[in-house]
């Protein structure tokens, strides 16, 4: 807890809008001994040395920097004391407008409302720092050994890379032989410059390198029995032919790859119906074994027939299962459709795999032409040719290749006609419809991640052995597609290759390197007792005051990362190195048992209480609290301020770790204090969620429903608390979100508790 705080005001950055000297004098008078140093400096960015001298001379344990956004003055965070920023430039001066919408620039005197706002923010900053402790990190001796699960193309790359970086590796492979699916791909798509031609995969070389490296222990014909513990000190029990073996490992790379989509989904296109219709993976094996005799081959990348058949079958099945016929839709309206969810989800893997199949079809068509000395005619029929990145060069090369004909086409039917197959092509790029007579049809392979519904890691965690909510990601072991590739919802376990996303071979190699780097970063972070992404370097972790714990299990159930185990009674058992410091447990706990050294119920509650809420709503306006997620919403506001977008001056903004960390008590505090409304500003949730902690904003919306009920019972309109979504790049839209909420609150009138 900071007991001696130095407060510094930045003349250059905020002096044009505020009377900085007056603000400094008020701060000094209000906080007295707590703030022995209150200074106005010409420019904070250049005041590091002065502040450092004050820290030493005055024994300051906290430094509050009132000026530009923390993102602008981040260098000053390294001062030898607890440091916090009050963002008076972006959140006050640059974003200020009068309640009637007019902007007061240029001006001589600071508008009164702007001064009141700045005063509130400074006081909130002082009390926040006063209630902040320096975290004691939970450092452990990180084991510098990486467990790689899966010995295919990606797993082998990961193992070799980790060993090259000086880490020991334990490689677990289910099969007797390493190499996986690439064992049947002797010639792969381009893996290096000039990216125009096929390339030997040299899987044998990769296997030999791994087997010959003394830092790598290969456990073949083995599978995971259990993974217990936490990053830095996991205990992996592996079932091997000689019995269970236990290894201490610091982090895990999950590279278990893919399995093919059930053939039934491609049956409407002839798979399993005619022996001359095969999928790409099978065709590759046949080619390698010299079993392809066909000379006219259609490579079909349009799977609309299969998708529509699946949809129709699902509709039919749903209609049969329905207790009574659904009412006919009104004229002009589309009827609500109920599908068999699993089928419709499964078939999506064909679309997800389109890039891999696009490259794969080019590779196979090229190879078959080569093997038959250009005696084969290969027709590549695509709806979407999605060749990723630099492999475009390979695509262009194949466009000019003798023997390959490509066209965009809607493939509307594939049927057996005597000894050949007929492929109906419509809407082609050639400007005509035609039917192709071929000997063989090659269909795409749907790459389904192996983690889907299979407990490949076997976590010994309270939340179960598998990754949670896999259905949300269609089985892919990822926790945030947008911001954090490789991250899973189990800290310390990083997914790479096709278990994460259908990827081409070159991309799998890159993925393996990325995941290994994340795994190493995790081990190093655990050994320093700090968090991994997104709060990289944060030494705080949840502290539990168990005396008050009622063992309600909300925290253990809601933690998005399975960081909390519990005992038989339900008392939480923290695993700090698994924790991402999101605060969801802290938001969940009705007993206020959980806190962080630098983030607590009391800290935010005190900040809320520091705002001066006027009693006269009509004359002095409402006061509205915004709890803004620090990952997207707060930076969006920061950027809006930088761009001089303005919003209503009656709001006060407090950044929170995640909306999942919002404890209902803060909303009660705000309402009792007389705030007229509370806005919860966070990331998008649902299927296209953007929450950095996966579920925070979704959980918050559920809690908000309970809060609304409570408010209703107390006679306060539930609409006074609203949750709104914003993405980091929506800085142009966020001021109107705020203004709209303020207008709704003004229409509602004052909080009935105001002044009580």
Q: Does 358 bind ligand SF4 (CB under 6 A)?
A: no
Smaller CB separation from ligand SF4, 415 or 702: 702
Smaller CB separation from ligand SF4, 110 or 563: 563
Q: What is the rounded distance in angstroms from the CA atom of residue 459 to the CA atom of residue 456?
A: 9
Query: Minimum CB separation from ligand SF4 for residue 468, in Å?
Result: 12
Cα–Cα distances (Å) from 543 to 135, 206, 323, 546, 595, in that order, read 10, 46, 52, 9, 5
Q: Does 504 bind ligand SF4 (CB under 6 A)?
A: no
Query: Minimum CB separation from ligand SF4 for residue 496, in Å?
Result: 22
Query: Minimum CB separation from ligand SF4 for residue 41, in Å?
Result: 36
Smaller CB separation from ligand SF4, 222 or 540: 540
Q: Are 404 and 432 in contact (CB under 8 A)?
A: no
Smaller CB separation from ligand SF4, 502 or 583: 583
The dihedral sign for the CA sequence 737, 742, 747, 752: positive
Query: Minimum CB separation from ligand SF4 for residue 362, in Å?
Result: 44
Among 585, 628, 670, 681, indicate the residue that binds ligand SF4 (CB under 6 A). Answer: 585
Q: Does 597 bind ligand SF4 (CB under 6 A)?
A: no
Instruction: Give the residue carrying structure tokens 């008392």.
Output: 571
518 burial level (CB within 10 Å; 0-12, 13-18, 19+): buried
Query: Minimum CB separation from ligand SF4 for residue 683, in Å?
Result: 15
Smaller CB separation from ligand SF4, 219 or 588: 588
Residue-level length of the chain = 756
Give strand pairing partners of 171: 148, 218
Among 196, 412, 551, 717, indicate the residue that binds ligand SF4 (CB under 6 A). Answer: 551
Q: What is the rounded distance in angstroms from the CA atom of residue 372 to the CA atom of residue 396?
A: 22
Query: Minimum CB separation from ligand SF4 for residue 718, in Å?
Result: 24
Q: Does 572 bind ligand SF4 (CB under 6 A)?
A: yes
Among 144, 206, 518, 554, indicate the residue that binds ligand SF4 (CB under 6 A). Answer: 554
The two tokens of residue 523 are 């081990």
Q: Are 606 and 131 in contact (CB under 8 A)?
A: yes
Cα-only R_g, the chain: 31
Q: Interface residues for ligand SF4 in 632-651 (CB under 6 A)?
A: none
Give the x-and-dash track for 530-549 against ligand SF4 (CB under 6 A): ------------x-x----x
Smaller CB separation from ligand SF4, 495 or 564: 564
Among 64, 162, 508, 559, indicate the residue that binds ligand SF4 (CB under 6 A). Answer: 559
Query: Minimum CB separation from ligand SF4 for residue 665, in Å?
Result: 12
Q: Does 656 bind ligand SF4 (CB under 6 A)?
A: no
The β-bridge relationship of strands 187-188 and 168-172 is unpaired
Q: Does 411 bind ligand SF4 (CB under 6 A)?
A: no
Q: Does 561 bind ligand SF4 (CB under 6 A)?
A: yes
Cis upstream peptide for 226 (omega within 30°): no
Query: Minimum CB separation from ligand SF4 for residue 595, in Å?
Result: 11
* DSSP conformational letter for 90: I
Q: Does 588 bind ligand SF4 (CB under 6 A)?
A: yes
Among 316, 550, 615, 729, indicate the residue that binds ligand SF4 (CB under 6 A). Answer: 550
Q: Are 462 and 565 in contact (CB under 8 A)?
A: yes
Nearest to 52 by CA among 29, 72, 77, 74: 77
Backbone angles phi, psi at 586, to 5 degrees: -70, -40
- The whole-angstrom distance between residue 24's C-alpha and the CA centroid of its chain comes to 41
The β-bridge relationship of strands 251-254 and 493-495 is parallel
Backbone angles phi, psi at 412, to 5 degrees: -95, -15
Q: What is the rounded distance in angstroms from the CA atom of residue 734 to the CA atom of residue 601?
A: 27
Q: Does 349 bind ligand SF4 (CB under 6 A)?
A: no
Smaller CB separation from ligand SF4, 497 or 542: 542
CB neighbour list of residue 528: distance below 8 Å, 6 or more residues apart? 137, 139, 539
Nearest to 562 by CA among 286, 329, 228: 228
Q: What is the rounded distance in angstroms from the CA atom of residue 475 to the CA atom of residue 501?
A: 10
Q: Interface residues for ligand SF4 in 244-263 (CB under 6 A)?
A: none
The two tokens of residue 347 are 């078939």
Return the range that interacts with ligand SF4 (CB under 6 A); candidates 213-221, 381-389, 467-475, 555-563: 555-563
Return the range that interacts with ligand SF4 (CB under 6 A); candidates 175-183, 217-225, 357-365, 587-595: 587-595
* DSSP conformational letter for 430: T
Q: What is the rounded distance in angstroms from the CA atom of residue 539 to the CA atom of residue 249?
A: 22
Nearest to 751 by CA among 668, 657, 637, 635: 668
What are the DSSP E strand ranges found in 187-229?
Answer: 187-188, 199-200, 216-219, 223-228
Among 219, 582, 626, 745, indicate the residue that binds ligand SF4 (CB under 6 A). Answer: 582
Q: Does 356 bind ligand SF4 (CB under 6 A)?
A: no
Q: Does 591 bind ligand SF4 (CB under 6 A)?
A: yes
Q: What is the rounded distance in angstroms from the CA atom of residue 232 to the CA atom of residue 237?
A: 16
Smaller CB separation from ligand SF4, 555 or 746: 555
Q: Does 489 bind ligand SF4 (CB under 6 A)?
A: no
Return the range that interacts with ligand SF4 (CB under 6 A); candidates 12-20, 349-357, 576-584, 733-741: 576-584
User: In which order are the strands placed within the sheet that holds 296-300?
Assistant: 277-279, 440-443, 296-300, 377-382, 404-408
Q: Does 589 bind ligand SF4 (CB under 6 A)?
A: yes
- With CB under 6 A, what is the number of residues at the site for ligand SF4? 26
Query: Minimum CB separation from ligand SF4 for residue 696, in Å?
Result: 9
Among 492, 497, 583, 605, indicate the residue that binds ligand SF4 (CB under 6 A). Answer: 583
Smaller CB separation from ligand SF4, 174 or 657: 657
Among 457, 516, 523, 594, indicate the residue that binds ligand SF4 (CB under 6 A). Answer: 594
The dihedral sign for the CA sequence 566, 572, 578, 582: positive
Query: Minimum CB separation from ligand SF4 for residue 262, in Å?
Result: 36
Query: Minimum CB separation from ligand SF4 for residue 253, in Å?
Result: 21
Smaller CB separation from ligand SF4, 405 or 552: 552
Q: Which residues bind ligand SF4 (CB under 6 A)?
A: 542, 544, 549-555, 559, 561, 563-564, 572, 579-585, 588-589, 591, 593-594
């Amino acid at each position: 807890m900071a007991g001696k705080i130095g407060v510094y005001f930045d003349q250059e950055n905020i002096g044009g809008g505020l009377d900085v000297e007056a603000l400094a004098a008020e701060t000094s008078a209000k906080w007295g001994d707590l703030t022995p140093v209150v200074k106005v400096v010409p420019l904070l960015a250049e005041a590091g040395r002065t502040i450092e001298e004050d820290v030493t001379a005055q024994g300051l344990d906290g430094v509050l920097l009132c000026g530009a956004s923390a993102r602008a003055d981040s260098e000053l965070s390294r001062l030898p004391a607890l440091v916090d920023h009050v963002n008076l430039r972006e959140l006050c001066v640059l974003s200020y407008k009068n309640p009637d919408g007019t902007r007061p620039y240029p001006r001589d005197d600071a508008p009164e409302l702007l001064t009141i706002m700045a005063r509130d923010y400074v006081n909130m900053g002082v009390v926040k720092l006063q209630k902040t402790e320096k975290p004691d990190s939970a450092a452990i001796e990180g084991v510098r050994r990486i467990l790689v699960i899966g010995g295919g193309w990606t797993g082998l790359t990961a193992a070799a890379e980790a060993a090259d970086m000086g880490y020991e590796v334990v490689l677990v492979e289910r099969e007797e032989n390493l190499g996986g699916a690439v064992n049947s791909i002797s010639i792969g798509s381009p893996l290096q410059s000039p990216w125009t031609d096929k390339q030997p995969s040299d899987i044998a070389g990769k296997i030999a390198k791994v087997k010959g490296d003394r830092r790598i222990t290969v456990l073949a014909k083995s599978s995971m029995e259990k993974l217990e513990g936490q990053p830095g000190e996991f205990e992996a029990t592996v079932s091997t032919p000689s019995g269970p073996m236990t290894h201490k490992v610091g982090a895990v790379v999950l590279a278990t790859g893919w399995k093919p989509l059930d053939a039934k989904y491609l049956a409407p296109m002839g798979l399993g119906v005619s022996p001359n219709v095969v999928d790409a993976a099978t065709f590759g094996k046949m080619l390698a074994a010299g079993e392809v005799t066909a000379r006219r081959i259609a490579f079909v990348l349009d799977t609309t027939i299969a998708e529509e058949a699946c949809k129709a079958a699902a509709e039919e099945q749903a209609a049969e299962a329905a207790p009574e016929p659904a009412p006919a839709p009104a004229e002009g309206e589309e009827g609500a459709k109920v599908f068999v969810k699993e089928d419709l989800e499964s078939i999506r893997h064909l679309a997800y795999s389109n890039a891999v199949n696009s490259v794969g079809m080019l590779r196979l068509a090229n190879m078959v032409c080569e093997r038959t000395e250009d005696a084969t005619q290969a027709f590549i029929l695509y709806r979407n040719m999605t060749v990723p990145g630099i492999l475009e060069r390979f695509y262009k090369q194949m466009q000019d290749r003798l023997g390959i004909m490509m066209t965009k086409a809607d493939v509307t039917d594939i049927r057996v006609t005597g000894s050949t197959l007929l492929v109906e092509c419509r809407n082609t790029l050639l400007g005509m419809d035609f039917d192709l007579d071929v000997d063989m049809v090659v269909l795409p392979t749907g790459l389904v991640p192996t983690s889907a519904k299979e407990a490949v890691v076997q976590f010994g965690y309270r939340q179960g052995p598998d990754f949670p909510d896999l259905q949300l990601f269609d089985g892919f072991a990822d926790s945030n597609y947008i911001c954090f590739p490789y991250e899973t919802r189990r800290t310390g376990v990083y997914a790479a290759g096709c278990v994460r996303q259908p990827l081409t071979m070159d991309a799998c190699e890159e993925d393996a390197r990325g995941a290994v780097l994340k795994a190493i970063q995790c081990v190093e972070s655990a050994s320093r007792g700090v968090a991994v992404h997104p709060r990289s370097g944060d030494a705080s972790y949840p502290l539990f005051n168990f005396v008050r714990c009622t063992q309600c299990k909300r925290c253990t159930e809601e933690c998005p990362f399975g960081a909390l185990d519990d005992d038989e009674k339900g008392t939480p058992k923290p695993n700090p190195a698994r924790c991402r410091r999101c605060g969801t447990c802290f938001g969940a706990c009705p007993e206020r048992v959980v806190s962080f050294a630098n983030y607590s119920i009391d800290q935010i509650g005190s900040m809320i209480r520091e705002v001066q809420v006027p009693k006269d709503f009509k004359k002095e306006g409402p006061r509205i609290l915004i709890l803004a997620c620090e990952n997207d919403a707060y930076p969006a506001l920061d950027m809006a301020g930088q761009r001089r977008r303005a919003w209503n001056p009656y709001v006060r903004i407090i950044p929170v770790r995640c909306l999942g960390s919002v404890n209902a008590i803060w909303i009660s505090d705000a309402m009792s204090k007389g705030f007229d409304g509370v806005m919860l500003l966070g990331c998008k949730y649902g299927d296209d969620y953007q929450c950095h902690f996966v579920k925070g904003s979704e959980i918050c919306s559920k809690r908000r429903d309970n809060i609304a009920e409570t408010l209703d019972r107390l006679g306060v309109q539930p609409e006074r608390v609203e949750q709104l979504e914003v993405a980091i790049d929506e800085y142009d839209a966020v001021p109107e979100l705020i203004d709209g909420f303020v207008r709704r609150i003004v229409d509602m009138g004052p909080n009935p508790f105001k002044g009580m």
